[in-house]
Chains A and B, each alone.
Chain A
Amino acid sequence: MDWYPLFNSLRIAAASSVIVFFLGILCAYYAARLPRTVKGVLDVILTLPMVLPPTVCGYLLLLLFGVKRPLGVFLSQFGIQLVMTWQGGILAASVVAFPLMYRTARGAFESFDQTLAYAGQTLGLSNTYIFWRVRMPACRQGILAGAVLAFARALGEYGATSMLIGYTPGKTATISTTVYQLWRTNDETGALRWVLVNLAISAVVLLAVNLLEDRRKGARP
C-alpha cells in the first residue's frame, strides 16, 4: 500500500493548522476590539468560506491563483505555484478551516474578563506577557477547540482541494481525494482501507484533546 496520501494529508493539515491558528488568533484578537459595524462587515468576509460550498471556494481560489491569474503570475515570479501542487493544498485547507478557528477564538476573546488584562498592566507586566501568559491561558478552552476543529476540517478537506490541486498519485493525492478516486475506479477494498485510516486518525485526535483537557482541568473549577 502506498502511504503517500496519509503523509500528504497530514503535512497539509498540519501546515494549514499552524497558519490558521496564528492568523485566526490575530484576526480574532483585533476583531474583538473593533467597533460594532466594522466588526459586522469583517465578520461576514472572514466567515464566508465556512458557509460557501468548498467547490465554490476552490473556484474562487482558481480565479485568484490560477497560472494566468494576477496572484498566480505574481507568485510564479518567486517560483511558487499553487495550482496542482501539494502546497496549494495548504492554501485550500487554510481558507476552508480559517473561519472555524477565527470564530471560536473570537468568542473566547470576547468573553475574556478585561480586568485581568488591566490588572496585569497596572502591575507593570508587558502587553506581550499579558497576551501569552494571561489572555491566552484564560481563553485556552475556546482556542484549543478552534484549533482542533480547524485541524479536523483541514484533514477532511475535499472540495476546494480537488478543485485547486486535483488528484495526482504521489504528488497531490490526499486521503479524501484518494478515497474518491479509488471508489470511482471500483477499488472498493482500497477505498475502505483509507476510510479506516481516516477514522483512526480522527479518533486519535479527539482522544488526545480529551486527555489534554482532563489533565489541565486543575486550572479552572
Chain B
Amino acid sequence: MSLLVDIQRRLGGFRLNVQFETRGGVLGLLGPSGCGKSMTLKCISGVERPDRGAIILDGETLFDSDRGVNLPPQRRRIGYLFQNYALFPNMTVRQNILCGLHSERDQTKRKTELEKAVRLCHLEGLEEHRPYQLSGGQQQRAALARILVNDPRILLLDEPFSALDSHLRDKLQMELRGLLARFGRDAVMVTHSRDEAYHMCSRIAVMESGRLLTVKDTKALFADPGSAAACLLTGCKNIVPARKAGAYEAEASGWGVRFQTIQPVRDDLKAIGIRAHSFNPMIGANAFPVEYLEEMEEPFERIIVFRYQNQRSDSPPLWWRLPKEHWMEPPLTVLGVRPEDVLLLYQ
C-alpha cells in the first residue's frame, strides 16, 4: 500500500506545494490552521483539482497534469472522514451506511456487510437514528462505518477529533487507532494537535504555509525536529536564535551563553530549542544564572517564566514547566539543561 503525492495548487495568494510518500501505517500532516493540510487531502480524494503534479496510489495514477489524467473522486476509492463527519442529515444511520454499499447489488451481501460494519463500529441499536440524534463519537463511528463498507484503498482523516469534547478525545483516539489497525489500511491524518499526531501517527509530515518542512518517524521528529517551525509545532516553547560555537557547542546569539550538545553542530545552525520541561535546577551541565519573572499555575503543573541574566529584556522570556510536587520556592538562581535536550534547529 503506497501513496505518492507531488502536487501544486494556487488559490488567490496561497500556494500549496507538497511532495510526500506513505510507507504504511498512519501518516500525520501536522501544521497550523490554513497551512494547506485539508487542501492536500481534498486534492488526494479528487474533490479539488491540483494545478500541477501527480498523485499515484498503489501504482495507479489518480492524477497527472502532464498526461492529462484526473480520475473523478467516485473512481478513486479513497475513504474521506471529514472534520464534521458529513453524515447525510436526511438519512438514518442505516441509510447512510448503505450509501457506502451502493455498488453492491446482492441484497443478502448488502445486509451482511451492513451488519458487520454496525458491529465493528459499535453502532448496534442506533441504525434507525438520524445523525443529529447521535453524540459526536457515535457520529464519527457512523461516518467510519459508511466509509469502511465502501472498501477504500486508503483513508483520509481530516481533524477527526476537533469536533469532540476534550474529555472524549483520548478515548476516541484509542478507539479509532484500534479500528484502523483491525481494518488494516493506511491512512493520512490531518491535525494541528501534536498530542493527536503523537498518539495516532507512525510518521509525521510537518507543514507550514503550503510547504512541507520535514517528514520523519514520529519519535524521531519529537526528538529532533530539525527546524524552528517544526519544533514549535511539536510543542516546544523556547526557541532561541543561535549560531555554531564549536563542534558540540551552540551559542545563544546576543547572550554570550554557550550550550553543550550531544549532536554535532552544523555550520548553518539557526536556533536552538529547549522544551519547557527540560530545564532542571539540579543539572550541572549547561547551568546558567537566571532571573525569576512570573509563574502560572495549571491543575497539576506549574509554569515559571524566567530570563537568563544576560538576556536582553526585549527578547522573549523562557518557560519552565514542572510537576507541582517538585516545586520549590523562589529565589530561583540556576537552571541547567542536559546536552541531549538541546534541540538543534536549521533552515
Measured CB to CB, the residues of A under 8 A from B are 113, 115-116, 118-126, 129, 133-134, 137-138, 140, 218-221
A126 to chain B: closest CB distance in Å?
7
Given contacts A137-B90, A138-B89, contact A122 B80 (CB under 8 A): yes
**Is B102 a contact partner of A118 (Cβ separation < 8 A)?**
no
B11 to chain A: closest CB distance in Å?
13
Complex interface: chain A residues within 8 A of B78 (CB) = 122
**Is B73 a contact partner of A122 (Cβ separation < 8 A)?**
yes
Most buried by B among A119, A125, A219: A119
One of B41-49, B187-195, B223-231, B319-327 contacting the partner: B41-49
Complex interface: chain B residues within 8 A of A115 (CB) = 82-84, 86
Complex interface: chain A residues within 8 A of B84 (CB) = 113, 115
Residue interface bits B68-90, CB-to-A below 8 A is 1, else 0: 00001111111110111010111
- Docked Cα-Cα span, A140 to B89, in Å, equals 12
- Docked Cα-Cα span, A124 to B146, in Å, equals 12
For the complex of A and B, 9 pairs with smallest distance between CB atoms: A119-B86, A137-B90, A121-B73, A122-B80, A118-B47, A115-B86, A221-B132, A115-B82, A124-B74
B271 to chain A: closest CB distance in Å?
39
Residue interface bits B81-105, CB-to-A below 8 A is 1, else 0: 0111010111000000001101100
**Is B90 a contact partner of A138 (Cβ separation < 8 A)?**
yes
Residue interface bits B208-228, CB-to-A below 8 A is 1, else 0: 000000000000000000000
> Beyond A115-B86, A119-B82: 18 further Cβ-contacts under 8 Å?
A115-B83, A116-B88, A118-B82, A118-B86, A119-B80, A119-B88, A121-B45, A122-B73, A123-B99, A123-B102, A124-B103, A125-B102, A133-B88, A133-B90, A138-B89, A218-B130, A220-B89, A221-B132
Complex interface: chain A residues within 8 A of B103 (CB) = 124
* Cβ-based interface call for B234 (8 A): no
Complex interface: chain B residues within 8 A of A120 (CB) = 88, 99
* Cβ-based interface call for B150 (8 A): yes
From B79, B83, B90, contact of A122 by CB (8 A): B79
A106 to chain B: closest CB distance in Å?
20
Complex interface: chain B residues within 8 A of A134 (CB) = 88, 90
**Is A113 a contact partner of B90 (Cβ separation < 8 A)?**
no
**Which residue of chain B has its CB nearest to the CB of A116?**
B86
**Which residue of chain B has its CB nearest to the CB of A136?**
B90
Measured CB to CB, the residues of B under 8 A from A are 42, 45-47, 72-80, 82-84, 86, 88-90, 99-100, 102-103, 130, 132, 143, 146-147, 150
**Is A125 a contact partner of B132 (Cβ separation < 8 A)?**
no
Complex interface: chain B residues within 8 A of A121 (CB) = 45-47, 72-74
Complex interface: chain B residues within 8 A of A122 (CB) = 45-47, 73-74, 76, 78-80
What's the A-B contact tally at a CB cutoff of 8 Å? 73
A to B CB contacts below 8 Å, 24 in the list: A115-B86, A116-B86, A118-B45, A119-B88, A120-B99, A122-B45, A122-B46, A122-B73, A122-B76, A122-B79, A122-B80, A123-B99, A123-B100, A123-B146, A124-B102, A124-B150, A134-B90, A137-B90, A138-B88, A138-B90, A218-B130, A219-B130, A220-B132, A221-B132
- Docked Cα-Cα span, A129 to B78, in Å, equals 19
Given contacts A113-B84, A118-B45, A118-B82, contact A125 B74 (CB under 8 A): yes
**Which residue of chain A has its CB nearest to the CB of B158?**
A115
**Which residue of chain A has its CB nearest to the CB of B149?**
A123
Is the contact region of chain A dominated by helix, strand, or loop, or is it mixed? Answer: helix
**Is B146 a contact partner of A219 (Cβ separation < 8 A)?**
no
Complex interface: chain B residues within 8 A of A133 (CB) = 88, 90
**Which residue of chain A has its CB nearest to the CB of B152?**
A122
Complex interface: chain A residues within 8 A of B88 (CB) = 116, 119-120, 133-134, 137-138
- Docked Cα-Cα span, A86 to B223, in Å, equals 81
- Docked Cα-Cα span, A94 to B264, in Å, equals 79
- Docked Cα-Cα span, A126 to B72, in Å, equals 10
Most buried by B among A113, A115, A137: A115
Given contacts A116-B88, A138-B90, contact A123 B150 (CB under 8 A): yes
From B42, B89, B90, contact of A118 by CB (8 A): B42
A26 to chain B: closest CB distance in Å?
21
Most buried by B among A118, A122, A138, A140: A122
**Is B77 a contact partner of A124 (Cβ separation < 8 A)?**
yes
Complex interface: chain A residues within 8 A of B83 (CB) = 115
- Docked Cα-Cα span, A221 to B132, in Å, equals 7
- Docked Cα-Cα span, A121 to B78, in Å, equals 10
**Which residue of chain B has its CB nearest to the CB of A218?**
B130
- Docked Cα-Cα span, A133 to B96, in Å, equals 11
Complex interface: chain B residues within 8 A of A221 (CB) = 132
Complex interface: chain B residues within 8 A of A126 (CB) = 74
Most buried by A among B42, B89, B147: B89
A140 to chain B: closest CB distance in Å?
8
From A123, A140, A218, A220, contact of B147 by CB (8 A): A123
B261 to chain A: closest CB distance in Å?
46
B85 to chain A: closest CB distance in Å?
8
Complex interface: chain B residues within 8 A of A219 (CB) = 89-90, 130
Complex interface: chain B residues within 8 A of A116 (CB) = 86, 88-89
- Docked Cα-Cα span, A140 to B73, in Å, equals 26
